[in-house]
Every structure is written in C-alpha cells, then in structure tokens.
C-alpha cells in the first residue's frame, strides 16, 4: 500500500545442533509472519543450527544437515508471499562460512557471508569460519542449483523494495557493509545477529541500529539469537529491533522463552524522498576498488495490507511521549529566544514591539520576547505590547491579553483601531456595512502600521507572530500581519504552538498558568468581523479554512517527503480514523493545495525568523517555489 512494506524480525525457540527441531521452529515463524502480512522476515545468525555449536561446526554431519534444511525451508515456504532470511554454516570448497540464505518463491535466491568475524572475549568465530570479504561475484552450489554468493548482493522485490544483508559483527565494524549497500541502492538492511547480553549492551546495540538506519537513510531490521543458545559462558537475550531512518519502529522483549516476532510497516518511498532531498546522501561515493553490486530479482512483494504497524501519527510535529514533548518544547523555545536575542543585539533595539491579541500566536511571541529580555539581562518593560481592539475583538481575548502583559511586567498600550479604520473606509470609498476582505484587511494593515510606527518612535523591533501553518496556507494579510521585523514563530505549526504554551504554563506561577491555559482553550480567530448577537466570536478560523491538525498533517507529508495527494489522503484517513471521513479529508486537502500554491507570493517576501525543525518555508533557505506555479497537477 503506497510503497509501505511490512518487515519482520523473528526469534524462534531453538535446540543447539538439532536441525530438524530448528527447521520446524523457523517454518512456524514464517507462517506466522505471512499470516500477519509480512513481506520479509529475518531470523538470527546461524538459526538453523544455533550460534553456539562450537567445534561441532567442523562436523560434516551438521554442515550437510544444515544445507539440506535450508533448501527444505525454501521449498516449504514456496506458497508464502514473503521473503525469509535465515542463517546457517555453509561449507564452500575448503572453507566454512557463516551465511544468510535468502529464500523466496520456493527456492534460495542468494547467499550472503559474514565479513567481520569476532575473535575476542566469548567469540572465537575465526576458529570455525572464514571471512566473506573476497566473495564478490561468486556462486555456490546449494540444492543442486548455482546460487549467487557474496557480499555484493542487493535483493529487489519491487521498484521501491530493495534490501541488503549483513551479519552481526559487520554492523559493529568501522565501515559496515550496510553503508556500502545503502549507497548501492538498498533501502533496508537485514542483520542476522547473535550478540550476547551484558549489562547496558542492549542500549548500545539499540543506539547502533538506530544510528546506522539514520546514517543510511534506511530501514534496519536486526534479529538476535535467543535464550536457548548455550549458556556455558554467556547468555543470549534474543534482542530484535527495527529502525526506520533513526526512529525505533519496533522492539521485542528480551529473554522471551517462546518464539516471538515483531513487525513494522516502513514507507520505502519516504526513504527514497529523504535520500533525494534531506541529506548529502547523493554526494557519497562507493570507494574505488569495491566490486559493483549484483542485483538479485525476487518475486514482487505485495506491500503492507493495512498500515497496522506503521508510524502514522495524527500530529507529526508533536512528539507523542510526554517527556519527549517537554524536551522538544524546551529546545524550541530556547532556539526562538536565541534567534531573537541575536537580532536585538545586532540592531541595538531599545524596545521589542509586539501586537498582543490574547490568541495563541501572539501569546507565544510575547513569552519568547520576555525570555529574550531575561537572557539579555534587560527589564521586561523594554517590551512594548500593543493591544488594538477592532470590530471583532472579544472581551475574553482582550482580557487575557491585558492580564498576560500585567503578569509579565511588560509595557501595555491600547489603541482602538475602529476610528482609524472607519476613516480609511471613507478615504477608499468602502461601505463599512460590507463585511468583505477589504473590511478585514484594513484592520490588519492598520495594526501593522501602528506597530511599525511605534517601533520607529521607540527605536524598537517589531516581533512577528505568524506561525508555519498560517504561512503555508497564506492565512495572513499581505503587508499586514504578514510583515514584521523578526518572526519568532515562523517555523512552528499551529498544532505545536499549543504545547509550547502549555509547557510554559506548567512551569509558571498559578495566576500566569491560568491565563495561558485559557488562551489555549480559546478558539482560533482573527476577530476581524463583528461579534455575534450573543457576544460570541463570529469568526472561527478552522470553520473557514479547515482544521489545523489536518493542514499540519498535509503540510508535513507534502513538504517533507513529497507525498502525492492520493497518498496523503489515504494516510490521513488512516491517521484520523473516527475523526474525519474521507470526503472531509479530501475537501480540506483540496483547500490546502489551492492555497499552498496560490499564496506563495506571500512567502516569497517574508521577514527573517529562526528555523526550529526540519520543515520551514523561508524562501532564503528552505522552500524555493515560483509564485505563479500551477496546482493543477496535484489537484487532478
């Protein structure tokens, strides 16, 4: 489904050197993986025999049984729509190799030997095995067939689904084979492992897997030998992990005494997009002398059936874990403050001028300005907050704005913009009874004019309040709230701003905390139209332009990974199941696409502001798009 493939790691029960028992356990796991819709499943190192056989690996009886078992496993899984990757000792000529066999469609398609052989502490692999470092371009005879054999194999089971293999210690080396495999086009790496468990080793292994998946911009699936290996001198924990470009997608519970599997649905098109646009991946080169990779074609994988094991958060900009969210908010707030402090120092601004409405965006900007003054050891009174009630200002928002300024100790000035706007309506011949775009934008531009002129008068800097979601949609008045002298919220989406304010509320005195929480609870509105007859806000932004949580979701997938609209809609339907139906999602997605394209002219001349995450829309650093580009292809 949309280039998602379901990857699995299996840790089966095992008896050392009992090939028949182990074969049955592997087949049982293969069937379970197939029933769960897996496209590929990887097993631990030497899973047919067990890793801890010692000098039994020199026994022809064991080697012959293992080779025969590998052929039988391939044959027995012929009707299962998945690739199975399992380990065995394989004699090739006068050498024994520790290998991974790749089976699909009833036959073994390729064999990959281990390159780096540990020979320290509890490991003595060089006693039994030879390194596969010189096997590129070779073949091995197995089950009467000549099969590609070597470290130069990349397996292809679909246009996007390409993978490579390394074994255990290979990952721990200075230059892991997976790095070269990734440069050769592999988007997933499967690792058959047999690491022992020592105190804190699992954490190191986890970090290693995640770092390598991030470095290679790939998926990384590791299956480790389980507790039924020999415990003569060490214990194996059966650690299984799936990393997805630096993210932990799945992990099992170690020391499980039953067979267990983990799954993750990985977006391979997303990995491709990340390699194209997010890194210097394309500048890397495979070193001279490294043999070219051989492509091994496999039956086409079907892809994930239902995204059950996919990472598809409703709010991709917001960490789901509370501790991670707090840390993220603290870091973003610090970046905002550092950016503003540098600009204030550079311009020698005497005041920080900010329009405060009692809404989310201006509240966050005011909190940033207050922290900036603290960092610069300047009094909060250097902040000049201006509240400018217009035709739609409500008592709730105005009251919160005033209270917030009092509690933070900033200067507060109020200017009623209605008389000036009425005069302007007269000057341009606009009937104030006509509540159209002109009616709204006159107010927005009047506010910006006041802020700019007060900044001139006080030697100050106008702090912009607009956020990333509004910038993406062009939900601002050109040369009105669109403009400032430094925009502190410009790369923060609306869904995250609530949490940033909430994070400050949690660390504030009760009175300030109460005001901040009420700001969070207030519906988002520009308050440019007169209030309803009952005094309530007549304009609710999300009723007009659509839910911000949907638009932020669209923005993330559209901008970060270039996902096509049909994929975005399907993913959103999955993520927001029970919240929005497909018709509603497509309605707002069309609005998002139209506005994103048509409003680029506003983004082409936005003020400076700090980038806090991987997605930003500055025309100088992050998003270069012509203002007259057509959205027709995307809408179609």
Catalytic option among 168, 372, 373, 490: 168
SS3 310: strand
State how far the Cα of 391 lies from the Cα of 418, in Å rounded to an integer: 7
Selection from 369, 379, 360 nearest residue 340 by Cα: 369
Q: DSSP 3-state assignment of 162?
A: strand
Distance in angstroms (rounded) separating the CA atoms of residues 438 and 56: 86
Name the active-site residue from 114, 270, 494, 567.
114
Q: Is 45 a catalytic residue?
A: yes
**Side-chain half-sphere CA neighbours of 490 within 13 A:** 28
- Strand partners for 310: 265
Does the annotation mark 114 as catalytic? yes
DSSP secondary structure letter of residue 518: H
Active-site residue (options: 23, 30, 45, 337): 45
Q: Is 611 a catalytic residue?
A: no
Reported as type and span, the H/E element at residue 161 is none
- b/e per residue, 483-506, with b = 16+ CB within 10 A? bbbbbbbbbbbbbbbbbbbbbbbe
Distance CA 595, CA 450 (A): 28
Residue 286: what are its φ and ψ, rounded to 5°? -70, 130
Contacts of residue 582, defined as CB under 8 A and 6 or more positions apart, other chains included, come to: 569, 573
Smallest CA-to-CA distance from 473 within 597, 293, 621 is with 597
Q: Is 45 exposed, middle or buried (0-12, 13-18, 19+ CB in 10 A)?
A: buried
Report how far residue 139's alpha carbon sits from residue 113's, in angstroms, rounded to the nearest whole number: 12
Residues acting as catalytic residues: 45, 114, 168
């Amino acid at each position: 489904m949309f280039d998602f493939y379901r990857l699995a790691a299996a840790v089966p029960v095992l008896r050392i050197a009992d090939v028949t028992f182990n074969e049955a356990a592997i087949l049982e796991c293969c069937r379970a993986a197939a029933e769960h819709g897996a496209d590929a499943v990887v097993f631990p190192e030497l899973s047919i025999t067990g890793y801890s056989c010692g000098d039994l690996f020199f026994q022809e009886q064991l080697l012959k049984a293992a080779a025969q078992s590998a052929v039988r496993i391939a044959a027995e899984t012929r009707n299962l729509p998945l690739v199975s990757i399992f380990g065995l000792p394989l004699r090739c000529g006068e050498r024994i190799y520790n290998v991974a066999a790749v089976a699909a469609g009833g036959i073994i398609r390729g064999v990959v030997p281990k390159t780096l052989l540990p020979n320290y502490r509890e490991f003595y692999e060089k006693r039994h095995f030879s390194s596969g470092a010189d096997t590129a371009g070779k073949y091995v005879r197995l089950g009467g067939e000549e099969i590609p054999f070597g470290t130069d194999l990349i397996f292809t089971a679909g246009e996007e689904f390409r993978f490579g293999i390394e074994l255990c210690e290979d990952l721990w080396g200075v230059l892991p084979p997976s790095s070269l495999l990734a440069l050769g086009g592999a988007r997933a790496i499967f690792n058959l492992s047999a690491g022992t468990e020592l105190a804190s080793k699992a954490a190191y292994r986890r970090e290693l897997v995640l770092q390598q998946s991030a470095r290679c911009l790939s998926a990384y699936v590791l299956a480790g030998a389980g507790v039924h290996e020999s415990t003569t001198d060490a214990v194996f924990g059966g650690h299984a992990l799936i990393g997805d470009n630096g993210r932990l997608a799945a992990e099992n519970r170690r020391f499980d005494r039953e067979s267990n599997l983990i799954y993750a649905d990985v977006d391979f098109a997303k990995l491709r997009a990340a390699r194209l646009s997010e890194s210097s991946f394309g500048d890397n080169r495979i070193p001279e002398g490294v043999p070219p990779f051989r492509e091994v074609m496999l039956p086409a994988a079907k892809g994930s059936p239902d995204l059950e094991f996919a990472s598809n958060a409703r709010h991709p900009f917001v960490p789901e874990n509370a501790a991670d969210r707090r840390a993220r908010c603290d870091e973003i707030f610090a970046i905002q403050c550092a950016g503003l402090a540098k600009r204030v120092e550079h311009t020698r601004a005497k005041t920080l001028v900010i329009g405060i409405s009692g809404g989310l965006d201006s509240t966050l900007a005011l909190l940033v300005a207050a922290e900036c003054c603290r960092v610069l050891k300047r009094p909060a009174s250097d902040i000049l907050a201006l509240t400018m009630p217009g035709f739609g200002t409500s008592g709730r928002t105005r009251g919160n704005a005033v209270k917030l300024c009092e509690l933070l100790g900033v200067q507060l000035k109020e200017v009623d913009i209605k008389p000036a706007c009425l005069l302007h309506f007269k000057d341009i011949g606009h009937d104030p009874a006509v509540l159209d775009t002109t009616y709204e934008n006159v107010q927005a531009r009047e506010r910006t004019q006041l802020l700019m002129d007060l900044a001139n008068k006080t030697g100050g800097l106008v702090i912009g309040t607009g956020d990333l979601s509004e910038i993406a949609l062009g939900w601002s008045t050109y040369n009105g709230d669109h403009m400032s002298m430094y925009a502190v919220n410009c790369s923060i989406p609306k869904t995250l701003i609530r949490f940033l304010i909430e994070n400050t509320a949690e660390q504030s005195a009760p009175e300030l905390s109460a005001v901040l929480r009420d700001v969070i609870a207030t519906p988002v509105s520009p308050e440019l139209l007169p209030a309803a007859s009952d005094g309530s806000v007549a304009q609710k932004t999300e009723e007009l332009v659509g839910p911000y949580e949907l638009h932020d979701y669209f923005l993330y997938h559209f901008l970060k990974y270039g996902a096509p609209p049909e994929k975005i809609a399907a993913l959103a339907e999955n993520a927001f199941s029970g919240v929005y139906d497909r018709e509603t999602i497509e309605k707002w997605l069309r609005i998002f696409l139209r506005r994103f394209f048509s409003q680029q002219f506003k983004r082409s001349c936005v003020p400076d502001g700090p980038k806090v995450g991987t997605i930003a829309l500055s025309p100088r650093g992050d998003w270069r798009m012509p203002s007259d580009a057509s959205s027709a292809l995307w809408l179609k």
